[in-house]
Amino acid sequence: MLRIWKATINSRNGLAFAFRSEQAVREEIFALLVSLPLAWLVGATAMRAVELVCSVAFVLTVELLNTAIEKLADRLTMDHDKQIGRVKDMGSAAVGVALLMAGAFWIIAIIERLGFI
């Protein structure tokens, strides 16, 4: 139980640090909070609403991983390094893919709710 408690505290600390230091994390937490009621309006079923919220939570998850990569890379060197730049770009690409996935979930759910499919 102690290990789980310590892991929970570490997770809370990491989320709090990311919230304080990264605008993108703040925006995605806001999007997640907004998605909670909207998902129930847009989702035709409870499962669809959960899928919509999880798609936004997934974007936040990937952003947290990207932020961790960026912070670690900056800790290694603040000088321009071609390889570190590529790694940061890949993290950014992962966030972009997650955003496209979430967008696809929401677009399909809206089209479905409007009765077009």
pLDDT at site 96: 99
pLDDT of res. 1: 92
Question: Whole-model pTM?
Answer: 0.92
Of the candidates 88, 59, 54, the residue with the CA atom closest to the CA atom of residue 71: 88
Domains of the chain in sequence order: 2-113 (1.10.287.3610)
What is the residue type of 65?
L
Q: Which residues are annotated as a binding site for a divalent metal cation?
A: 22, 70
Please pick, among 18, 48, 63, 105, the residue that the annotation labels catalytic. 63
CA contacts within 13 A on the Cβ side of 93: 6
User: Active site includes 51?
Assistant: no
The model's pLDDT over 44-90, given as tens digits with 9 standing for 90+, comes to 899 999 999 999 999 999 999 999 999 999 999 888 899 999 999 99
Residue numbers belonging to the annotated binding site for substrate = 3, 24-28, 63, 92
2-60 pLDDT tens trace:
999 999 999 999 999 999 999 999 999 999 999 999 999 999 899 999 999 999 999 99
